[in-house]
């Protein structure tokens, strides 16, 4: 997908930042939660954000 405009890249950059922050926050929550099932769910959520980040990063031409 090499036909991305500057605006497309700007939007994707903002989305990447959001995914990165959400992933980091979910990991922090997972480490601080005392309820094991909630901590596991936060780890699952963090992994989902990390996957989306990776997919978007690859889309804009980043290396995996």
* pLDDT single digits (tens) 4-60: 899 998 999 999 999 999 999 999 999 999 999 999 999 999 999 999 999 999 988
Nearest to 45 by CA among 17, 15, 25: 25
Q: What is the DSSP letter of 57?
A: H
What pLDDT, on a 0 to 100 scale, did the predictor assign at position 63?
63
pTM (two decimals): 0.85
What are the DSSP calls for 2-56, one per residue? ----HHHHHHHHHHHHHHHHHHHHHHHHHHH--SHHHHHHHHHHHHHHHHHHHHH
What pLDDT, on a 0 to 100 scale, did the predictor assign at position 61?
79
Q: What is the DSSP letter of 61?
A: T
pLDDT at 62 over 80: no
Name the pLDDT band for 3 (thresholds 50, 70, 90). Answer: confident
């Amino acid at each position: 997908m090499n036909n991305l405009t500057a605006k497309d890249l700007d939007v994707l950059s903002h989305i990447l930042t959001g995914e990165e922050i959400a992933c980091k926050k979910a990991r922090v929550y997972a480490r601080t939660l005392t309820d094991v099932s909630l901590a596991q769910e936060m780890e699952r959520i963090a992994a989902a954000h990390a996957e989306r980040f990776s997919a978007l990063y690859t889309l804009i031409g980043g290396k995996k």
